[in-house]
């Protein structure tokens, strides 16, 4: 269990990242919540602290090296170590390829893929000295199967899977495992915006006949962040109700 471990989570102020923060805190981890949204991050950290958890808010952008270094420095200064990194921050800028703008491509690749690279490189320096680490990248089912209208997003998530496997090989000798969780369609603000008809059509393609919840993803992350997963690295854990296998 992640009892007593220090977990840095990006994009932790809402949605799946927030659920991951609460799930790890419930198992006794100390939480460093990083996000660009100051008010929401402060609110999430206050909620975590109200449950008795140790938690710290760091406001910053995962694509900016100086922000990420400040985040990892703050974690070490406050809590002495970084045991778990969850690269969860992500964005979409959907559109058909013919109409996709350079800026839409660059923004998605930058946050979803470069952001994970910068956070991993920075956290690795601390984990490497500790000879212990658990890195978990939040990919997506569409990085495995593709999706029309999301070429930039799918490419970023497929890239994240490649990054996961390369880092797993590179970091194993330091006792650092690197895995990905690939969520299917999860009920969040993003999917709440869909009509009932589209949500129904989506659910019909899922063997378990429902959209996933943020807690379904958080439970998988807790396992990969725990001591119990110590012999698993370079793995992509699909949490998709059987939609893609
Ligand atoms: P969300 O949009 O609710 O939350 C993302 C968080 O990341 C926000 O708090 C946002 O402020 C933060 N963020 C965005 N850019 C950032 C940056 N440059 N630096 C720091 N923080 C930044 O998204 P949601 O739905 O919770 O998704 C979380 C992760 O799960 C993402 O990586 C997403 O791609 C992935 N995912 C989500 C699925 C879904 O159905 N919701 C399905 C598959 C994957």
Any idea where the domains of the chain sit in the sequence? 6-185+217-237
pLDDT single digits (tens) 133-157: 999 999 999 999 999 999 999 999 9
% residues pLDDT > 90 (the chain):
92
Question: Nearest residue CA, atom 40 of ligand 1?
Answer: 186
CA distance 142 to 191: 15
Q: What is the CATH number of domain 6-185+217-237?
A: 3.40.50.720
* CA pseudo-torsion sign 178, 117, 23, 142: negative
With cut-offs at 50, 70 and 90, classify the pLDDT of residue 202.
confident
% residues pLDDT > 70 (the chain):
99
Q: Residue 5 phi/psi, 5° resolution?
A: -85, 155
Question: Nearest residue CA, atom 8 of ligand 1?
Answer: 11
231 is catalytic: no
Return the pLDDT at 135: 99
Residue 190, pLDDT above cutoff 90 = no
CA of 207 to the centre of ligand 1 (A): 25
| pTM of the predicted protein model | 0.98
Shortest-distance atom of ligand 1 to CA 37: 11
Residue 125, pLDDT above cutoff 70 = yes
Residues 25-37, mean pLDDT to the nearest whole number: 98
CB-defined site of ligand 1, < 6 Å: 10-11, 13-17, 35-37, 61-63, 88-91, 111, 115, 138, 140, 183, 185-186, 188-191
With cut-offs at 50, 70 and 90, classify the pLDDT of residue 231.
very high
CA of 65 to the centre of ligand 1 (A): 19
With cut-offs at 50, 70 and 90, classify the pLDDT of residue 189.
confident
With cut-offs at 50, 70 and 90, classify the pLDDT of residue 192.
confident
CA distance 167 to 121: 10
Higher pLDDT, 202 or 2: 202
Flag the least confident range among 1-5, 91-95, 101-105, 210-214. Answer: 1-5
CA of 173 to the centre of ligand 1 (A): 31
With cut-offs at 50, 70 and 90, classify the pLDDT of residue 1.
low
Return the pLDDT at 10: 98
């Amino acid at each position: 269990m992640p009892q007593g471990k220090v977990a840095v989570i990006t994009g932790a102020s809402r949605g799946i990242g927030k659920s991951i923060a609460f799930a790890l805190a419930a198992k006794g981890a100390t939480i460093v919540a990083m996000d660009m949204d100051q008010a929401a991050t402060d609110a999430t950290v206050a909620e975590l602290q109200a449950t008795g958890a140790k938690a710290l808010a760091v406001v910053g952008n995962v694509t900016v090296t100086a922000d990420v270094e400040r985040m990892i420095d703050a974690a070490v200064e406050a809590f002495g170590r970084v045991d778990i990194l969850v690269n969860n921050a992500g964005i979409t800028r959907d559109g058909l390829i013919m109409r996709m703008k350079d800026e839409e491509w660059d923004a998605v690749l930058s946050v979803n893929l470069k952001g994970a690279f910068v956070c991993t490189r920075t956290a690795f320096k601390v984990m490497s000295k500790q000879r212990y680490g658990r890195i978990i990248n939040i990919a997506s089912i569409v990085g495995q199967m593709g999706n029309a209208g999301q070429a930039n997003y799918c490419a970023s998530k497929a890239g994240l899977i490649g990054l996961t496997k390369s880092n797993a090989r590179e970091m194993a000798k330091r006792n650092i495992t690197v895995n990905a969780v690939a969520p299917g369609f999860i009920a969040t603000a993003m999917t709440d915006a869909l009509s009932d008809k589209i949500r129904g059509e989506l659910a019909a393609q899922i063997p378990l006949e429902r959209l996933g919840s943020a807690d379904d993803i958080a439970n998988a992350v807790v396992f990969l962040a725990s001591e119990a997963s110590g012999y698993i690295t370079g793995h992509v854990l699909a949490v998709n109700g059987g939609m893609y296998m």
